Amino acid sequence: NAGVTQTPKFQVLKTGQSMTLQCAQDMNHEYMSWYRQDPGMGLRLIHYSVGAGITDQGEVPNGYNVSRSTTEDFPLRLLSAAPSQTSVYFCASRMSDYNEQFFGPGTRLTVL
Amino acid sequence: AQSVSQHNHHVILSEAASLELGCNYSYGGTVNLFWYVQYPGQHLQLLLKYFSGDPLVKGIKGFEAEFIKSKFSFNLRKPSVQWSDTAEYFCAVNAGTDKLIFGTGTRLQVFP
């Protein structure tokens, strides 16, 4: 199993550009989540999904969109990038509330 | 809304010293509790978890944590730290929702 994979690993954007961070998992996990990690602020939940076709907002959803058309994929879209979105983004998946959450390797995003 | 507090932001220890990292959460109902570790340059890995039963939970690499319901706490402990324990440690809580919420993290530096 590849586990949780994320692409790209690094990305530089200009303010106002849009892009999609890709996330995929091959463990047949129902739950998938996106977090951003910023110094001194830990991991903050952006959006999450409990199954294909179901998504919900986390702690910091503004400026981001998600969709879950398949169990495997959970892309995160930045609609109009802002410098405040400079961060490291982690995708994660788990089978349910009672299971370990597995993290991807992260995407380091810089918005100029 | 559920929240997680980690009051120790940065801890510096010498090898063989004992470690205790604090974690408090705000939620009055049933909770699932986790400690994750992030070694430099790596993604998060599960150290240990508590769902129910014995409130003293043992994890990998000699770590343990104690759930004290009356104090809303889930502190992480290790009797004797090693240089290789240098990492950032995150407490996380799932409290009756589908969301896994993380604390702000504690950076541990262990010197030989």
Q: Give the tens place of pLDDT for each residue, B46-98.
A: 999 999 899 999 999 999 999 999 999 999 999 999 999 999 999 999 876 77
Q: Do B102 and A42 touch (CB under 8 A)?
A: yes
Element (H, E) at B25: strand B24-26
- State the Cα–Cα distance between residues A28 and B36, nearest whole angstrom: 22
Establish, for the pair of chains A and B, how many residue pairs have beta carbons separated by less than 8 Å: 52
Binding-face residues of A in 63-82 toward B, CB within 8 A: none
pLDDT digits (tens, 9 = 90+) for A18-68: 999 999 999 999 999 999 999 888 899 999 999 999 999 999 999 999 999
- State the Cα–Cα distance between residues A108 and B17, nearest whole angstrom: 34
A54 in contact with B, Cβ within 8 Å: no
CB A32 within 8 A of CB A49: yes
pLDDT averaged over chain A? 94
A38 in contact with B, Cβ within 8 Å: no
- CA-nearest residue to A96 within chain B is B98
